[in-house]
Amino acid sequence: MTFISIEFLLFLTLIVGTYYMVPHRYRWVLLLLASYVFYATLSVQFIPLLLISTAFTYVIGILIEKQEKKEQKKRLMWVGVSVLVFFLGWFKYFNFVNDSLRSFATWSGFDYDVPYREIVLPLAISFYTFQAISYVVDVSRGKQKAERHYGYFSVYFAFFPQLVAGPIERAKKLLPQLKTEQHLDYGNISYGTQRIIWGFFKKTLIADRLAPIVASVFNSPDPTGSEIVLATMLFSIQLFADFSACSDIAIGCARLLGIRLSENFKQPHFAVSIADFWNRWHITLSMWLRDYIFMPLAKGKKKREQIYGAILATFLVSGIWHGAAWNFVLWGLIHGIYRVFGDHTKQQREKMASWVGFDRVPTLHRWWKIAITFQLVCFSRVFFQSHSMAEAFSHAKLYVTPSSWAPSGMMQAIQMFSLLDLIIFLVVFVIVHLFQHIERTRGSAWDWMARQSAVTSVAINLFLIVSAFLFGVSSQGFVYGGF
């Protein structure tokens, strides 16, 4: 039962309808039951791991809070973090480390006989582990009181709208909302429904339509350079549509229950720098990495080289979190290098822009920076999408080869689209950009929607629903759903 299914919509309707009928003091029971049922339909064999992780985090949080000395709190905090990381590491990284050691042993001539193990990655373990770590660390820092109500804590740990792919929520934001009595509100129902419709629209008409086209290139044994260039840029659009759609649906589902989840995307492909990109893309992960990796590493550091080391380490963690493969590690380091290089050359680039005359045409300068940032992000995603390091380097070489960008080659590469796919993509692409234009010029597109007449609002939503129903496809799971 994935987000993009009739079964989920029926399930959600049942939960929302029941939620507002039962007394507030019993709603946590309903939400917990709904969360476990939802998770069980996707990965029932890992319900015990979810229960164990929840119980351990709950207990360690209370034990940390009971300690009187900071050293004791810190010691227990490290115990808690280590156990949670061990759970994640065993399931997600054991074979990656094992295979890497075997390859190194073969290259160096040493014997290494630890066998490969068939380990299935538990659904959502990367997301709920990071959420658990933030809770444990915040309790140890005194920023969060340890939750005593096991039911509410369990709902926080496994809240079904954001369990599978985030947003990664902090306890101080989500727990109080779960405890506050929510009332049936037309504004919440309208907003939540519109976010869900918009998520379905992006997922079925952009992400899942682009997915097989992109895969056909990256699975090809001998793609042309122009195909790699076009497929990589399309993959960036696919990935954004897929992940932001998942966040839209999660935010919409939670709002139907009166609960506000954090925004996870703010038009990342309009970023003017890599730093700006990470303030717009997967925002809750970026904030998590800043607060729990970068800030501790950079604390007390004054030399620029030390700060740069902390930046590289943070992006290395980001890469490892995204996937248990060397191409993900390299992808993270590439973004770290981007970030360091951008900071180190900021003054020189500003002088160069002034010399060229960009400062006299700020709009042109802004779009130039947007284009450069987008291409830097796209180049890194060659490593994100490739299946091996050898393939990644081969594709990366093709991406930066000048002949790959030749107009004749790009026109041939466009033939990977069928005529229908191309028309649908262009129409939907324009619609999404109109939506984003409203956000850039009028603040919130959702506030703009709320100000429209009932007829206009219904017409827009009916158009999105009918378009998704007639032309949408849904053969793919969410990209980040496997994390």
Per-residue pLDDT of the chain (483 residues; tens, 9 = 90+): 788 888 899 999 999 999 999 999 999 999 999 999 999 998 889 999 999 999 999 999 999 999 888 889 999 999 999 999 999 988 888 888 887 777 777 777 777 777 777 778 888 898 999 999 999 999 999 999 999 999 999 999 999 999 888 799 999 999 999 999 999 998 899 999 999 999 999 999 998 899 899 999 998 888 899 999 999 999 999 999 999 999 999 999 999 999 999 999 999 999 999 999 999 999 999 999 999 999 999 888 888 888 999 999 999 999 998 888 888 899 999 999 999 998 888 888 888 878 877 778 888 888 889 999 999 999 999 998 888 888 999 999 999 999 989 999 889 888 888 888 888 888 988 888 888 888 888 777 888 888 888 888 889 889 988 988 888 887 667 776 665
**Look-up: residue for tokens 């290395």?**
316
DSSP string, 272-323: SSHHHHHTTSSHHHHHHHIIIIIHHHHTT--SHHHHHHHHHHHHHHHHHHH-
CB neighbours of residue 408 within 10 Å = 9
Please write the tens of the pLDDT for every residue from 439-470: 888 777 888 888 888 888 889 889 988 988 88
- Catalytically annotated residues: 322
Structural tokens at position 311: 């930046």
- The pLDDT value given to residue 476: 62
CA 142 to chain centroid, in Å, comes to 28
Structural tokens at position 154: 């369990």
Contact 321, 126 (CB under 8 A): yes
CA distance 85 to 129: 7
- The pLDDT value given to residue 481: 60
Question: Shortest CA distance to 291 belongs to which of 268, 317, 265?
Answer: 317
List the end-to-end C-alpha distance of the chain, in Å, as a whole number.
Answer: 17
CA distance 217 to 215: 5
- The pLDDT value given to residue 483: 59
Contact 203, 474 (CB under 8 A): yes
Ramachandran assignment for 120, one of left (phi > 0), alpha (psi -120 to 50 degrees), beta (any other): beta
Residues of the chain by 3-state class (helix, strand, coil), percent to 5 = 80, 0, 20
CA distance 290 to 313: 11
What are the Cα distances from residue 36, in Å, to 60, 126, 149, 163? 22, 17, 18, 10
Contact 144, 65 (CB under 8 A): no
CA distance 272 to 275: 8
- The pLDDT value given to residue 482: 60
- Residue 359's H or E segment, with its range, is none
pTM attached to this predicted model: 0.91
